[in-house]
Chain A
Amino acid sequence: MEFLKKKILELRPDFEKGGKYAQFHTLFDGFATFLFTPDRVSRGGTHIKAGIDLKRTMFFVILAMVPSLLFGIFNVGHQHFLALGEFAGSPLNGLWDKFFYGALKVLPIVIVSYSVGLGIEFFVASKKGHAINEGFLVSGMLIPLVLPPDIPLWMVGLSTAFAVVFAKEVFGGTGMNVLNVALTARVFLFFAYPTFMSGDQVWISEKPDVYSGATALANAAATGTPFQISADQPWNYSLQDMVVGLIPGSIGETSKIAILLGAAFLIITGIGSGVIMISVILGALLMGLIFNGIGMTPFMNMPFYLHLAMGGLLFGAVFMATDPVTAAHTGTGKWIYGLLVGMMAVMIRVFNPAYPEGIMLAVLFGNVMAPLIDNYVVQANIARRNKRLAARTSLA
């Protein structure tokens, strides 16, 4: 570290204004401040003193995603070998083979997502002459986690570019986006290349055609229970499998335990909003209960708590809905926003068989509604205090 520090201080004059590499200043600055706390101090105006900045915040979110990523890598391999009929018995059989296979599938997606996204970010930053923002560090990791393992890499690159340009840069970059960037990438792929993003064929990497790859969610939509599975599959999903995550699905969404570990980390460090996570889950449960009460279709009659165990609902609640830029900001607003997202997610799941995964569209819908919710919460607060003031002055 000492060596790096010396080297950076030595090189810095070259990248300052008037230096020979002045046009690469933003790039240099971005890397230098990534490694070390900058020695610049804000002057003037009002500041909150805190030991955390955007880079550290983003880094903590990435740490929170590590369990999901590692389990995702393992599960991609596990599902693949299970479909081929190898390493039967305990899921831990052939652990390293599964891990290695999964890494071969998942890491290229991560690399493509990061290089495309950061490439655009660096280009825009140096063109506009502002500092490089670290917003993409999290999006770049979220994008691979919400994709199926066999997605072609050029699609990953295209969707990342689309999301970074249309969801973020045109609105003014990190912190100004209306929609969650990672979900914009996913929704682009979902509508542009539906055969690669939905159905029974895409969730298990390189599976034999005869093997049914139906997800728990697809089972539930078709029969009203996630456990039942077609005759070509030699085993059933159990609730335990669904909670541990040994089911087919997007790379990072399957393991509820890994997601909850990340959620705990986010809440303890104060990075993610626990209120939003809880209210999304409550909203989903509430909607599930309402549907249980109506009970017109088999899917409506499915026990309401099973909604949490399948699909990406929990992943969306923990990592997507809590995005501090696109979520509601006010305290009451967060509850309304979370409940709205949770209820919408289950509603889309149950009512629309074409969109089995409701959480993606529900979070994007919540993102669009968030500023409106905040506005009404603030207005209501102002009105309440005016009323109180009026009551007090009339007493006096």
Chain B
Amino acid sequence: MSDVLVQSPAEKKPLLGKKERKLITDPLSDNNPVTIQVLGICSALAVTTQMKPTMVMALSVTAVVALSNLVISLMRNAIPPRIRIIVQLTVVSVLVILVDQILKAYMYDISKQLSVFVGLIITNCIVMGRLEAYAMGNKPFPSLLDGLGNGFGYGAVILTVAFFRELLGSGKLFGFKVIPDAVYEAGYVNNGLMMIPAGALFVVACYIWVQRSFAKHLEEKE
């Protein structure tokens, strides 16, 4: 019990030290869940035709990943290893149902637009991946940060994809027309490929291409 009375050096550390900041920034680029770990691709293809629902989706996933990381990390020493997947799933599904109900209550239109994909956050590989890879073996606070970082990393990618898909596919951003009528009169036509999920694959591919041409250290050595 003497540990509690004597302040250990570890507790003097600032709330957001270098290591903690890295937990947030790493998933944004060098360890991005979508473009590097190739997780959560399905929803990156499915919900990204428009910016607005994509934004909501990104926030929902961030909330679920961060909170489930936190909860599982708090419970990690009490979970028997053999049934840990079931426990994780239970926690995640509770959070997903909460998010779904909140969306239905306050953003009904968008919730209808996202339809099953909110419920399908439970199958998003990022959630389970972070629980298994991080929350099961780390303290609650870093786990929360890791969840936030991965949520932001996921959000950054799907928002970029949605930006190009909405701009090229329907000439709009957040539902507002941004390509002027004069351009259409000159013969420009919206690109239908961007409206089908296959189009998102090309945008994700370009994202990975651009990212890797800037970050050479990510290239696999031959």
- A-side interface residues toward B, CB under 8 Å? 152, 154-155, 166, 188, 191-196
A318 to chain B, nearest CB (A): 28
21 cross-chain CB contacts under 8 A = A152-B187, A152-B189, A154-B187, A155-B189, A166-B202, A166-B205, A188-B193, A191-B192, A191-B193, A191-B196, A191-B198, A192-B191, A192-B192, A192-B193, A192-B194, A193-B189, A193-B191, A193-B192, A194-B192, A195-B189, A196-B189
Complex alpha-carbon distance, A196 and B192, angstroms: 11
Complex alpha-carbon distance, A155 and B192, angstroms: 13
Number of contacting residues on B, CB 8 A? 10
Complex alpha-carbon distance, A47 and B194, angstroms: 46
Nearest B-chain residue to A189, judged by Cβ = B193
Residues of B within 8 A of A166 (CB): 202, 205
Tally A-B pairs: CB < 8 A. Answer: 21
Residues of A within 8 A of B192 (CB): 191-194
Residues of A within 8 A of B205 (CB): 166
Closest 4 CB pairs of A and B: A192-B193, A192-B191, A191-B193, A192-B192
| Binary contact track B126-162/A, C-beta < 8 Å → 1, others 0 | 0000000000000000000000000000000000000
Query: Interface of chain A, helix or strand or loop or mixed?
Result: helix
Complex alpha-carbon distance, A196 and B189, angstroms: 10
Most chain A beta-carbon contacts within 10 A, residue among B192, B194, B205: B192
Residues of B within 8 A of A188 (CB): 193
Nearest A-chain residue to B187, judged by Cβ = A152
Complex alpha-carbon distance, A255 and B190, angstroms: 33
| Binary contact track B174-207/A, C-beta < 8 Å → 1, others 0 | 0000000000000101011110101000100100
Nearest B-chain residue to A195, judged by Cβ = B189
Nearest B-chain residue to A187, judged by Cβ = B193
Complex alpha-carbon distance, A192 and B199, angstroms: 9
Complex alpha-carbon distance, A193 and B193, angstroms: 8
Complex alpha-carbon distance, A191 and B192, angstroms: 6
Complex alpha-carbon distance, A46 and B69, angstroms: 60
Residues of B within 8 A of A195 (CB): 189
Most chain B beta-carbon contacts within 10 A, residue among A154, A192, A195: A192
Residues of A within 8 A of B193 (CB): 188, 191-192
Complex alpha-carbon distance, A37 and B61, angstroms: 62
Nearest A-chain residue to B188, judged by Cβ = A154
Complex alpha-carbon distance, A290 and B43, angstroms: 40
Residues of B within 8 A of A155 (CB): 189
